[in-house]
Amino acid sequence: SSVAWDSLVDTLSKGKSPFKLPLTPTYNAATKSLSLGVRVQTRALYTSSKPVAMMWYIVEDSVIAPQLNFNTRIPNYVHKDVFRDAPMGVYGKAFFSGNSIAAKTTKDTTLNYSFASVPYVPEKCKAIVVMALQEPDYRVLQVSEVHVVKE
Task: Give the contacts of 12 (CB within 8 A, at least 6 positions apart).
Answer: none
Nearest to 75 by CA among 83, 87, 67: 67
Residue 142 burial by Cβ neighbours in a 10 Å radius (0-12, 13-18, 19+): middle
Q: What whole-number distance in Å separates Cα of residue 30 and Cα of residue 49?
A: 44
Q: What is the pLDDT of residue 136?
A: 77
> Which DSSP string corresponds to 139-151?
-EEEEEEEESS--
Q: What whole-number distance in Å separates Cα of residue 119 and Cα of residue 101?
A: 40
Q: What is the pLDDT of residue 85?
A: 97
Nearest to 32 by CA among 121, 111, 109, 110: 121
- Per-residue pLDDT of the chain in tens (151 residues, 90 and over written 9): 566 777 767 776 777 788 899 999 999 999 999 999 999 998 777 777 788 899 999 999 999 999 999 999 999 999 999 999 999 999 999 898 766 677 788 999 999 999 999 999 999 999 999 999 887 777 888 999 999 998 7
Please name the amino acid found at residue 1. Answer: S
How many other C-beta atoms can be found within 10 angstroms of the C-beta atom of residue 25?
Answer: 19
